[in-house]
Amino acid sequence: MAKKRAQLVLEDGLSFEGTAFGAEGEVFAEIVFNTSMTGYQEILTDPSYKGQMVVMTYPLIGNYGINDEDEESPRPQVSALIIKEGASLASNWRKKESLENYLERFNIIGLEDVDTRALVLHIREKGAMRAGLSTETLDPDVLLEKTLQSPSMVGQDLVRHVTPDAPYQFQPKLARLPTDDRRIYKIVAYDFGIKRNILNLVSAEGFDITVVPATTTAREVEDIRPAAVILSNGPGDPEALDYVIREVRRFLGKFPIFGICLGHQILGLALGGKTYKLKFGHRGANHPVIDVETKKVEITAQNHGFCVDPDSLDSSKVQITHWNLNDQTVEGLCHKELPAFSVQYHPEASPGPHDSRYLFARFRKMVEEHCGRA
C-alpha cells in the first residue's frame, strides 16, 4: 500500500514535501530540533515537548523499535516527528512494536523523506517558529495561511495540559536494596510534566515522593509536611506560570528546593529574575556545561527553549553555579542563604550522558543538612 504524501510549511514560507508515516491528519506547533543520536522514545514521551514538532538530526530513526521500559510518560507528547529516514527493520530484544505503529496508535503524524539537514540549518539561522504539517492540505500556500493563524509558544501555559489532576504517590520500578539503611525522607515533587527517570533517580536517593499538580498551593504543600520540594521540567513559557511562581515564593526558605529545567526557570522567577526565549533552544545530549565552583565540565542532556536572564538576578542573594560553554547562558543557580538550587539541564539524562547524576546526591545532602538543623 502506497504511503500518503505530506506537506510541511514553516511560518516564514519555507516548505518541504515528504512521506507520511504513523497517523494522518493536520497539526500546527512550534518546530524544533534535537541532536541526540539515540533515545527517540524518551524524546517522544517527554512532556516538555508538548506543543512542539521535533526534527531529529540523526538520519536513521526507529531501528530499535519501541519498548515498555523507556517511556518518560504514558504516551507520546510531541505534536509530530520529522525524520530523514525511518528504519524498515526494527531489531531489539526489548522491542514491543515499531515506531510507525506506535505513532499510529497514539494519532501522531510522522514525516520522512525530507532534507532534515537543510531544515535544521534553516531553524538554526532563522530560529524556532510555528509550522504546519498536513496529509490533507498539500498546497503550501493554503497550509501557510493556517499556520500563521496558530498560536505562538510565547505566553502559552502548556503545563496545564500535562500536569496530573490530583496528587499521587510515586511507585519506583526497583525496590531499594535491603542494605540501604539511610533515613527515608518524604518529599513533594511538582509535576509540570515530570519525566519518570527523574522520579526513579530521586527515589533511589532515599525519598518517598508525593507528586502534586502544578496548581497545588503553598498551604497544601505545607500540610503534607515534606522534607523538601522538587520543581520539575515541563513545557511552555515559564513567565505564563504566575500561579506557580507565586506559591513557590510563599514556601521559599521553608523547605529545600531542587529545580530542574522548567523548575530552574520557575525558581529564577520566584527569586525575582526574568526569563527570555532562546533563538532555537538547547535540545540534545551533548551540551557542555561548566561548574563554576569545581571548574569541571559536564556533558549534559538538555531540552528547553527559554532561559533565565543573569542580569535580572540579585547577585547579593543569588549565585550562578553553572554556565553553558556553547553560548554562555545560565545553566544553574543557587540562593546564597536559603536551601535552594536548580539546573537548566537534565541530570537524569534520559537519553544522554550520566555526568550530572551527582546532583541527586547533592540534593540528598542538602536535605540532610537542613533536617539536621530543623
Where in the sequence numbering do the catalytic residues fall? 261, 346, 348
- In the three-class reduction of DSSP (H, G, I as helix; E, B as strand; rest coil), residue 275 is classed as strand
Identity at 316, one-letter amino acid code: S
Q: What is the dihedral of CA 321, 354, 248, 335, to 10 degrees?
A: -20
Best CA proximity match to 109, nearest among 197, 206, 23:
23
The answer to whether the beta carbons of residues 274 and 309 sit under 8 Å apart is yes
Residue 12: other Cβ atoms inside 10 A: 14
Could you tell me the three cell numbers for 73? 510518560
Q: At a CB cut-off of 8 Å and minimum separation 6, what does 358 contact?
A: 347
What are the distances in angstroms from CA 242 to CA 12, 159, 214? 31, 12, 11
What are the distances in angstroms from CA 189 to CA 17, 212, 259, 264, 308? 43, 6, 10, 13, 21
Query: 3-state DSSP: the chain helix, strand, coil percent, rounded to 5?
Result: 25, 30, 45
Rounded CA-CA distance 57/91 in Å is 21
The answer to whether the beta carbons of residues 73 and 46 sit under 8 Å apart is yes
Q: Determine which helix (DSSP H) or strand (DSSP E) holds 128, and give its type and residue range.
A: none
